[in-house]
Structure 1
Amino acid sequence: MDTVPTTASSASGPSKTRLSAAALPALAGAYVLAIELPGPVPLRLAGRMAGSLPAGRFLYCGSARGPGGLRARIARHLRRRKTLRWHVDRLTTRGRVVAVWAVPGGDECDLVAALAGLPVPVRGFGASDCTRCASHLLAWPDGVALPLGPPTLSAG
């Protein structure tokens, strides 16, 4: 799995680094967002019971097939203010994206498969139209190394 190397992050203070998707390619592909949640996030997914996702680190695997490709989709995920359109928007508006792996030409289900040993916190999350994956959201426990190589974008 080849990720795009870039140094597209810029500092916006001593403890917070703002990520920027500006250097990412406008190509179709897949990506992984590493999201830190400082506290619980209430969730209600269509057709399922309402619940809550606890504080912690999570990985969301998604695809970028529309106009602007990876650059546009990841830039949207990095914005705090946006219309809540996808399941992951509930996390990116409450938590902080701390790393991104961008894979031009990649497939989000292949990324989920590469991370198969990680726990699934919410079945069906981000995978409403997927028949291969239990979820496109995975928990990332402390101390667990990821088989993805260095992130394309990182908050430090």
Structure 2
Amino acid sequence: MDFSDARFTRGTVTFNGASFSGSTVTFRDATFSGGEVDFGGATISDSRLLFSYATISDSTVLFNRATISEGSVVSFADATVSGGSAYFGRATISGSTVSFSGATISGGRLFFNSTTIFSDTVSFSSATISGGTLDFEDATGPAPTGLLTAIGSPVPRTVILSQAWAPIL
């Protein structure tokens, strides 16, 4: 499915509970303004969900309780999150990649609270994070690559890191 350059304003687009296997769903250069895209509870296996260069402003992208596995890629590479939110709460990420590489997050909110990360699969390499909220409370697994380097100036309003990472940060 190709939603490149689409404009999502108000309302909800739902993939809640959907199964993606060997699929590619592209939101490249899409604009999310005042709406919601819901992948909550989805099973994403050997698939690619690409939000590259997307703009998320006053909108929400949900991956709560999603399972992302078997070589899947969920990419927000070079995306802009400004006043919008991405929720990965209680998601399971195993053998896959969730990338915010090169993304600009200013005033947005990223929630990975209680997320289970099974390997070095979440990346913020070359991202810029200023303002907003980062919440990794009770996340398990390794700390995301590049996270501390991505936190810029001004520092996000709220940063909650997993206590499990304390010895390595």
Q: TM-score range by the shorter chain?
A: under 0.3
Higher strand share: 2
Q: Which has the higher contact order (CA 8 A, sep 6+)?
A: 1
TM superposition score normalised by structure 2: 0.23
TM-score by length of 1: 0.24
